[in-house]
Amino acid sequence: MHLTTVVPVTLAALASAKPCPDEKVKGLDYYAKKAGLQYFGSATDTPGQRERAGLDAAYAQYDKIMWGGEFGSTTPTNGQKWLFTEPQQGVFNFTEGDYTANNAKKHGLSLRCHALVWHNQLGEYVNQVQWTPETLRAQIVSHIENVAGHYKGQCNHWDVVNEALEEDGTYRKSVFYNVLGEEYIKLAFKTAARVDPKAKLYYNDYSIEWPSKKTEGAARIVKMLRDEGIKIDGVGLQGHLTAEGGVTLDQHIAAIKSFTDLDLEVAVTELDIRLQEPATTTNLAQQKEKYKNIVGACVQVKGCVGITIWDFYDPFSWVPYFFPGEGAAGLWFANFTTHPAYDGIVEALTNKTAPVGKGKGKGKGPGKRSLWA
Ligand code: 9MR
Measured from the Cα of 114, ligand 1's closest atom is 15
Q: 11-350 — its CATH code?
A: 3.20.20.80
Give the whole-number percent of the chain exceeding pLDDT 70. 88
User: Mean pLDDT of successive 10-residue segments in the chain (373 residues)?
Assistant: 33 40 79 98 89 81 97 98 98 97 98 98 97 98 98 98 98 98 98 98 98 98 98 98 95 98 98 98 98 97 98 96 97 97 97 61 35 30
The pLDDT score that the predictor gives to residue 55 is 81
The pLDDT score that the predictor gives to residue 12 is 38
The pLDDT score that the predictor gives to residue 57 is 81
Instruction: Give CA separation, 365 vs 37, 361, 368, 372, in Å.
Output: 11, 5, 6, 17
The pLDDT score that the predictor gives to residue 361 is 42
CA 159/CA 238 separation, integer angstroms:
11
| Helix, strand, coil in percent for the chain, rounding step 5 | 45, 20, 40
The pLDDT score that the predictor gives to residue 363 is 37
Q: Which helix (H) or strand (E) holds 34?
A: helix 28-34
88 forms beta bridges with 91
Ligand 1 centroid to Cα of residue 318, in Å, is: 7
CA 42/CA 188 separation, integer angstroms:
26
pLDDT tens sequence across 158-184? 999 999 999 999 999 999 999 999 999
CA 222/CA 231 separation, integer angstroms:
9
The pLDDT score that the predictor gives to residue 53 is 74
Ligand 1: which residue has its CA nearest to atom 6? Answer: 318
The pLDDT score that the predictor gives to residue 1 is 29
Active site residues: 163, 270
pLDDT tens sequence across 262-283? 999 999 999 999 999 999 999 9
Task: Kindly give the pairing relationship between strand 234-237 and strand 157-162.
Answer: unpaired
CA 153/CA 356 separation, integer angstroms:
32
